[in-house]
Amino acid sequence: MSLSAAWSDRATPARSWHNRLLPYSLLTPAVLVTVVIVFLPMIEAVVTSLYEFVLFKPNAARFVGLNNYIKLVQDPVFWITLGHTAIWIGLTVPLQMGLGLVAALILNKEFPWRGLARALVIIPWALPSVVIALMWRWIYDANTGVLNEILLRLAIIQSAVPWLASPDKALYAVIATLTWQGFPFFAVMILAGLQGIPRSRYEAASIDGASAWRQFRHVTLPGIAGVLATAGLLRIIWVANSIDVIFVMTGGGPGYATQTLPLYAFVKARQNLDFGYGTTIAVMFTLLLGIVVALYMARTSREVER
């Protein structure tokens, strides 16, 4: 430290001016590219949401002010998809976390093939969403799917269930798939948290005669609370945004049964080419998600200060 202080003392004024600008010039490429490919499109999205804009339509764009937003609040499908989004996040994230916690607790024990088990558990995380979606469509298939076959053999169901075609089951079938896709992320994060808990705490607890449950409740849970909160917030954002799996599995159907808000925006723009309204839905979704993002950012900004 003293060396560098001496070094900068010797520097000429021109040199120190140069040094003060240096971090900004180092940042320029990254910031510039992000502004062009993220912030400009985002501003364009907000502007587009104020227009009636259907792609490939002659004299396409017409300024309509907040009309799209008024139309949105009156759109019954908006409220349906908003409800689905709530169920989607409210079930998927806790299920992923629960399964991830169980996996992490098991994989934290000592057994000879632990390394292999840890590597294999990560596989769902590494697979492309499209492949996951198609794979589960095959598993859920009403006529030849393996899930129906197993359940029929075990006499849990009496006749084959069209999992993805029935309006009251499709959403839960997709949630099960997303739970499967996302639990390794939690398992890995929680595992890292578990390894950070000092062994001595468990030893102290067990000398005090604490049962396994009480050790879990009073040593393990407090030890991983931070990880759970951070990973949970990250995952809410990720799950809310994730539309590729639903899109490939059901396309939002049957009817609107598996349509979430971001998927509704995507489908509106892609199939109806209604970019004005589609973007309006996307902007509204972003505003709602912004609440969670703000919570996460507040957590992380403490990290940046250091």
Q: Could you say which residues in the range 165-204 bind other proteins, by CB under 8 A?
A: 180, 183-184, 188-189, 192-193, 196, 202-203
Nearest to 196 by CA among 217, 225, 218: 225
- 254 prior amide bond cis, ω within 30: yes
Contact flags string 64-93 toward other proteins, x per CB under 8 A: ------------------------------
CA dist 239 and 163 (Å) reads 21
| Window of 41-49, 63-71, 79-87, 89-97 that interacts with other proteins by CB under 8 A | 41-49
Give the number of C-alpha atoms closer than 13 A to the C-alpha of residue 39, restricted to the C-beta side. 7
Least Cβ distance, residue 65 to other proteins (angstroms): 19
CA distance 128 to 151: 27
Beta-bridged to residue 62, according to DSSP, are 52
Contact with other proteins (CB under 8 A) among 16, 34, 166, 211: 34
Number of chain positions touching other proteins (CB under 8 A):
106
Contacts to other proteins from residues 88-107, by CB under 8 A:
99, 102-103, 106-107
Quick one: which of 93, 243, 246, 257 contacts other proteins (CB under 8 A)? 243
For other proteins, give the closer residue by CB, 67 or 230.
Answer: 230
As a whole number of angstroms, the distance between CA 142 and CA 245 comes to 19
Part of the chain binding other proteins (CB under 8 A), chosen from 69-77, 157-165, 167-175, 270-278: 270-278
DSSP string of 80-144, one letter each residue:
HHHHHHHHHHHHHHHHHHHHHHHHHHHHTS--TTHHHHHHHHTHHHHS-HHHHHHHHHHHH-TTT
**Binding string to other proteins for residues 125 to 144, with x set by CB under 8 A, is what?**
xxxxxxxx-xxx-xx-x--x
